Amino acid sequence: MKMLEDLLKDDVYYVTPACKEEKQKKLLRDGFARAGVAMNSNWKPVSISFKNTDQAINDIQKALEESE
Q: Say whether pLDDT at 1 is over 70.
A: no
Q: Which residue has the higher pLDDT, 6 or 49?
A: 49
Residue-wise pLDDT tens digits, 22-47:
999 999 999 999 999 999 999 999 99
Question: What average pLDDT score do residues 40-57 get?
Answer: 95
Average pLDDT over the chain, rounded to an integer: 92
What pTM value is reported for the model? Answer: 0.81
Residue 68: the pLDDT is: 79
Question: Which helix (H) or strand (E) is 45 found in, with range?
Answer: strand 43-47
CA distances from 48 to 2, 30, 62 (A): 26, 22, 13
Spatial distance between the Cα atoms of 43 and 51, rounded to a whole number of angstroms? 21
Would you kindly state where each structural domain of the chain is located, as residue ranges?
2-66
